[in-house]
Structure 1
Amino acid sequence: MSSELLPIENYVPHRDAMLLLDRLLSADADSAVAEVTVPQGGLFLHDAGMPSWVGMEYMAQTVAAWSGWNALHKGQPVKIGFLLGSRKYEAAQAFFAPGTRLVVSVHCDLMGDNGLGMFDCRIHTEDEKELASARISVFEPEDGKAYIPTSPAASP
């Protein structure tokens, strides 16, 4: 696993309130590990904490960080990708408590030349208690921006 890592913004296209991860802890050709401390306030948070379904986005952003890390190590630009879906997202609890440090690990089971991929994903606490797991499918096209419609107001 890599020991020299850049700030998370270098690996994922997410910004501002939509960047949910704090940092990339490790990455290699097949897997990545990231961390997030559940925020005390902000986007998605409820009185009971962060809904566990947000874990799916934590997983997807860790896949994005893995992809960005691999792209940069090949001298390529970071691409936009898309979460297509999941199989068997299971969470041990309904909410993640604010202030909890979560460790998100992803392992690439398959990445096709067409940009379609499948990942085994897990979320644990620092002491390795598993809180959520899923298999997610993603799509990383050559030109992700071509799949995002632009509004007439944003056009010149």
Structure 2
Amino acid sequence: MHSYDIEQLIVHRDPMILISGLADYDQTTAHCWVNISETSPFYQKDIAGVPSYIGIEYMAQAIAAYAGAKALDNNSTIQVGFLLGSRKYLTHQASFSCDSKLDIFIEELYIEPSGLSVFNCTIKHGDNLLAEAKVNTFQPEDASQFIKENS
């Protein structure tokens, strides 16, 4: 496992980099984190946090960071991926509180040569499970061509 800054791993740029970093990863799993603060994208002062529905985006960026780390480890370039959707995105609270560190765990369940993948994802704060989902993604060989053909 190598150590990478989040900006090296995902194609997003500020202000849309939502997660703080990649803690560790292996061939099928990754652990990322996000620090929730008043400067976090999607922070809402009236709830003193970030709505928990943003968790699906944290999961998607954790998947992107995992894919990015694996690509860099193999001397490949970072590829654009697409969040297709999720099955049973469940949240166990309405928001992610300010000044909390969330741990995002992903596990690759299935990957096709076509680029379709399914991941089991969870968000935790300490031992508390805050959100969970099965996330479906697609990473085409050539994202520009894919967008052009499907626009």
TM range (shorter): over 0.9
Listed one character per residue, the Cα deviations across residues 13-59 of structure 1 (whole Å, up to 9, x for unaligned) are 11101101111000111011100001213532222020001000000
Q: Does 1:28 align with 2:29?
A: no
Q: Of the candidates 45, 48, 68, which is equivalent to residue 43 of structure 2?
A: 45
Identity of aligned residues (%): 36
Listed one character per residue, the Cα deviations across residues 85-109 of structure 1 (whole Å, up to 9, x for unaligned) are 0001011101111111000000000
What is the rounded CA distance, in whole Å, between the counterparts of 1:31 and 1:74 in structure 2? 16
Number of aligned pairs? 146
The ranges of structure 1 where at least 4 consecutive aligned residues each deviate by more than 6 angstroms after the TM superposition are none
**What residue is the counterpart of 1:138 in the other structure?**
137
Listed one character per residue, the Cα deviations across residues 115-146 of structure 1 (whole Å, up to 9, x for unaligned) are 00000000001x22110000000000011133
Letter in 2 for 1:17: P
**What residue is the counterpart of 2:12 in the other structure?**
14
**What residue is the counterpart of 1:153 in the other structure?**
none
Letter in 1 for 2:110: L
Partner SS for 1:9:
helix
Partner SS for 1:93:
coil
Q: Does 1:102 align with 2:102?
A: yes
**What residue is the counterpart of 1:91 in the other structure?**
91
Letter in 2 for 1:144: A
Letter in 2 for 1:146: Q
TM-score by length of 1: 0.89
What is the rounded CA distance, in whole Å, between the counterparts of 2:147 and 2:14 in structure 1? 19
Structure 2 stretches lacking a partner, 5+ long: none
Partner SS for 1:146:
helix
TM-score by length of 2: 0.92
